[in-house]
Structure 1
Amino acid sequence: MSLTQQHLLDTHRARHLGTPVPPAPGTHDARVVRELREYRRFRAVLAGRPARGRIRHVLHRWLHRWPAGC
């Protein structure tokens, strides 16, 4: 059973029983990603690492490790 079919079944069941309809799949995806990003920043601060710009700093360090022209 696909995700869409399960959602339709849950929606039908909720309407039949008079309970609130569940949210559509993907409704809260942006909020979950935002909360995960904030949690990772929080964990970085607790560990004593910079909370922002870590990936850019690592990429810059990696790209400029070798001398130009090699």
Structure 2
Amino acid sequence: MNALHQHLLDSYRASQHAEAAPPAPGTHDLAVLRAARERRRFEAVVAGRPTPGRLRFAFRRWLGTQG
């Protein structure tokens, strides 16, 4: 059973019990990704590591370019 099937089943059950339907699959994906990013940034600050642009800095260092 995939996520869509589960959503349809949950929606049917909610309608039978006069409850609100659950959110569609993927509705909160961006919010979860943002929260994970903020958590990583927070943990980096607590650990004393630099946070802004770490990936870009790593690519620049790897390529040996400035700017």
TM-score, reference length from structure 1: 0.85
Which structure has the bigger radius of gyration? 1
TM-score, reference length from structure 2: 0.89
Q: CA RMSD in A?
A: 1.3
User: Following TM superposition, where does structure 1 have runs of at least 4 consecutive aligned residues deviating by more than 4 angstroms?
Assistant: none
Name the residue aligned to 1:45.
45
Q: What's the CA shift for 1:56?
A: 0.9
Unaligned runs of 5+ in 1: 66-70
Q: What's the CA shift for 1:41?
A: 0.6
Name the residue aligned to 1:34.
34
Unaligned runs of 5+ in 2: none
Q: What's the CA shift for 1:32?
A: 0.6
Residues paired across the two proteins, number? 65
Name the residue aligned to 1:13.
13
